A and B are shown apart, each in its own frame.
Chain A
Amino acid sequence: MRIAFAALAAATALVVAGCGSSDAGSGGNTVNWWTWDDKQAVAYGECEKAFEAANPGTDVKITRYNVDDYFTKLTAGFVAGTAPDAFQNSVQFLQAYASQHQLMPLDDLIAKSSVDMKKFSVGVDTWKFTDGKQYALPLDWAASALYYNADMLTKAGVPEADVQRLTWNPDDGGTFDKVVARLTIDKFGKHGDEPGFDKSQIATYGIGAMAGRSFIGETTWAPFVNTLGWRLGDKDQWPTKFNYTDPRFTKTMKWVLSLTDRGFSPKLGTFTTGNQSTISDIDLIGSGKVAMTMGGSWSASGFGKIPGVKVGIAPTVLGPDGKRSVLSNSNGNNIWAGTKNPDLAWKWVSYMGGEECQTRAGATGTFFPSIPAAMDNTVTSMKSQGVDLTVFNQYVKDGVLHPSSAYANGSAVQSAEQPLFEAYFAGQRSDDVFPEMERVSQEILAKN
C-alpha cells in the first residue's frame, strides 16, 4: 500500500513538474531567435544560412509566434528559463523587460566588437533605456504612407500628381479633404462633393479607417497632427504625459471625426470586430470598398501585389507650413539576460545588424533595413518586382521622420486609452474625453 502511495505521489509530481519543462534554453552552439513576423522569419532565414556557413558547427533556430501570443510566450519563457537567446522586440515592452533585468545591455559588446552605431539611420535612440544603456540594435524601421487605387483616381478625375502632393490643415482639411470627398461614392454613383450625395449608403469610401486603431495614430491621424508640431509625449523619450489636451490635437480629432460623420471614412466597427480587421486594408482596396487608405510600410509589398488592381503609394500630407512629418517606429533585436550563450547570441545579433545580412534579408522587401545602403538595395530589389518604395526612402532623405517615443507601461497605457478613443469616435463621448485621456496617461506613465 505504502509503495503504491509513493508511486502515485511520484507520478503526480512528475506530471506537475512536466508542466514547467519544455524545450529548455539553448546551450552549446545553438542560438534561438524569435520573431512575430512570418515574412521576416523567412527573410532572416537567408542570413541564417550564411551565418551558419561562416561559423561551422553553429546552429541558429528561428522561431515565429503570432504577435497575439508572442509577448505572453516570451514572458513565460523568462520565468521558466526557456526564453530565446535573442529576439525581436517592440519598444512598447522595452521598459517592462529592461526594468526587470531581462534584457542584456549591449554597450560593452558594442564597444568590444567596435560596432559603429552611426551606420543605422533610424532607431538607435529608441532602444536606449532610462539608465542610458543601449539594449538593442535596431532591426528595421517602418513609417506610413497613403495607398490608393489608381484606376479609381482616374475614374473620379483626380490626377495622380495631386495625390502625391496633398496639403492639409485642421480647419478645412486642405486638398486632402477635397480629394477624399471626390473619391467617396454612394450607392447611386454620386461623389462625396456632389449635391444629393447620400452619406448613409456608401459604395466606396474615399479614405480607409481614420478613427480608433491605436492611441498613437501611427497609421491614421499622427502624420496629420504631427505636421502642426504636436508630439505625443511631453518629452521625446520617457514622457510623463501624453499631450491629448493640446488644442492642435483636439482640433485634429474633430476633423477626423468629421470624416466619418460626412461618410468619407468608415465608422468604427464597419470593417472591424474587437478592434481587429475582419477585412484587411489590402482586401478593402482590392475589392473597391475603399479608394485610398493610410497604411504601414510593412504592407507595401502586399498592396503592390493585389491581382488586377494597380495601387500607387503617395507620401503623407504636407502640413500648413508645407512640410511633412512622419512617425517612424523601429523594432529592436534584444539579447535575453538569462542566455547561456551570450557570446554566440551577440555574434548572431551583430551579424543580423550588419550591412551584409540587412542587404540580404531586406531584399525581400518585407521590412526596411535601418542601414541606408541596405535600404537602397531594398528599394531597387522591390522596384524589379513592381513595387515602388521611393516614397519611404525619400522620407529618410528629406529628414521628415521622427521616431516614436519609448514610454513606460506600454500595454497598460494601450489598455486604458484605447477604449477612450473608441468612445470618442463612436460618438459616446465628446471633448470631455481629452482631459481624461491625458490624466490617465499621466497616472499610468508615472507608475513605478
Chain B
Amino acid sequence: MVTTLQDNSAQVVRGPATTAPPPPLRRKGPASRRNDTWVAWLLVTPAVLGFGVFFAYPMLRGVYLSFTDFHILSPPVWTGLENIRELLNDNRFWHSLGVTAYFVVLTVVLGIGVSLLTAVVLHRLGVGTTVRGLMILPFLISGVVTALVWTWMLDPQLGIVNQLITWVTGEPVMFFSSDAWAVPTLAALNVWKSMGYNAVLIFAGLQTIPATIYEAGRIDGASEFQMFRSLTLPLLRPILVMVVILNVINATQIFDIVQVSTKGGPADASLVLQMYIYDKAFGQFDFGYAATMSLALFLMLVAVTFTQMRMARAGESDTD
C-alpha cells in the first residue's frame, strides 16, 4: 500500500507544470490502463446481470411479498405486518424450527466429527489422490438419488439393512416412519453424503500445517492424541470454522432428502423449515406467508453466521 502511494505521488510530481490542481488519482494512469475499467465492467457484466436477475431482484421481491397476501393467481395485496403476526402465533413454524435445529446439531456434530477423524487418519497415512477421489464420491450423488436409494435400503419390509437387523434383533427398525428415528436417519443420510467433501476440505487444511511443528511436538515427547488436540485442532481452526459454517447453512437449508423420503412425517416429526415453506408455497399456494418464513430463515442464517464468525475469530490463524 505504501509503495503504491509513493508511485502515484511520483507521477504527480512528474506531471505537466501547467496543471494547477492535481487531477484525481484514478485519472492518472496511462491510456491503456483507463480502458481496463471498461474491460473489467464487460467481464463482470454477465455475473452482475445474473446476480441482479436471479438473486437481487427475486430477493427484493421476496421481501416485498412477505408483507402481502399473495396466492399467485391474483395480484399481491399489501397486508403490512399481518404475516409476521401469523408467524409468531404459528405453532407449526416454531415446531419446524425446532426440528431444523435438531437436524442441524446432529448433522454438524456428527458430520464434522466423522470428517475430521477421516481427514486426520488419511493425512497421517498419507493416502493418494485415488482414495481422496473415492471419498468424495457420495457428495457427487444428487440428494434425490441418495434419499431414494436409502429409503429402499432402510425399508422395514424390503430393505437390506432391515433384513440384517431383523436377523439380529428379530424386529425391523422403522427408520423413516417412527418419530424417534426420522430426524437422526435423515441426519445420518446427510452426513453420509457430505462427509467426503468435508473431509477433503479439512485434509487440505491439514496440508497447510508445517511438518516442522509436528517434529517439534515429537521431540517434546507429545503423544499422537496430544499433538492432535494441541497442535492440529488450533492450527486447523480457520478451515474448521469455514466447514462448520458451510455445514450449518447447508443443513438449515435441507429439503431434497426430506421431500423424497419422509415428506415431513410421521406426524410432523421431520417437518424441517424448508419443507414447511415449500408446502405453504407450492402445496397451498400461500406465497405471501411462505415468503415471510423464508425471510425469517434468511435473517436467522445471517445472524447465526455472523455470530459464528465473531466467536470463532475465523479470520485469524494461530500459525503466525
Residues in chain A within 8 A of chain B (CB atoms):
1, 4-5, 8-9, 12, 16, 72, 75, 78-79, 96-97, 100-102, 200-201, 268-276, 278-279, 289, 409, 411-412, 415-416, 418-420, 422-423, 426, 428-429
Q: In whole angstroms, what is the CA distance A167 to B153 when docked?
A: 41
Q: Name the one of B92, B261, B279 contacting A274, with C-beta atoms under 8 angstroms.
A: B261
B102-152: which have CB < 8 Å to A?
Answer: 151-152
Known: A78-B73, A102-B73, A273-B176. A1 touches B38 (CB 8 A): yes
B157, B264, B267, B283: which contacts A426 (Cβ < 8 A)? B267
Q: Contact: B267 with A274, CB < 8 Å?
A: no
- DSSP majority for the B interface? loop
In the complex, besides A72-B282, A419-B268, 15 extra interface pairs with C-beta distance below 8 angstroms are A8-B42, A75-B73, A79-B73, A100-B71, A269-B178, A269-B266, A273-B176, A273-B177, A273-B261, A278-B155, A412-B284, A418-B265, A419-B265, A426-B178, A429-B267
Contact of A276 among B50, B152, B263, B283 (CB under 8 A): B263
Contact present for A409 and B263 (CB under 8 Å): no
Q: How far is the CA of A426 from the CA of B282 in the complex (A)?
A: 28
> A282 to B74, alpha carbons, bound, how many Å?
42
Inter-chain contacts of A272 with B (CB < 8 A): 177
- B282: A residues at CB distance < 8 A: 72
Contact B265 A274 (CB under 8 A): yes
C-alpha gap A103/B222 in the complex (Å): 77
The answer to the question of B192 belonging to the interface, with a C-beta cut-off of 8 Å to chain A, is no
Closest 3 CB pairs of A and B: A269-B177, A274-B263, A423-B267
Report yes or no: B156 in contact with A270, Cβ–Cβ below 8 A. yes
Residue pair A428, B267 in contact (C-beta under 8 Å): yes
A selection of 6 A-B contacts at a CB cut-off of 8 Å is A12-B46, A100-B71, A201-B170, A276-B263, A278-B152, A419-B267
Are A420 and B158 neighbours in the complex by a CB distance under 8 Å? no
- In the complex, the answer to whether A100 meets B73 with C-beta atoms within 8 Å is yes
Tell whether A5 pairs with B45 under 8 Å between CB atoms, given A16-B53, A100-B73, A269-B156: yes
Q: With A5-B42, A273-B151, A422-B266 in contact, do A411 and B283 touch (Cβ < 8 Å)?
A: yes
B256 within 8 A of A: no
Query: Who on chain A is nearest to B172 by CB?
Result: A270
> Which residues of A lie under 8 Å from residue B204 when comparing CB positions?
none
Indicate which residue in A8, A278, A422 contacts B267 across the interface (CB closer than 8 Å). A422
Mark out the residues of chain B between 26 and 76 whose CB falls within 8 Å of any chain A CB in the assembled complex.
Answer: 38, 41-42, 45-46, 49-50, 53, 71-74
Min C-beta distance of B319 to chain A, whole Å: 43
Cβ contact within 8 Å between B266 and A268 = yes
Q: How far is the CA of A274 from the CA of B150 in the complex (A)?
A: 13
Is the beta-carbon distance between B271 and A419 smaller than 8 angstroms?
A: yes
Question: In the assembled complex, which residues on chain B have CB atoms less than 8 Å from the CB atom of A100?
Answer: 71, 73-74
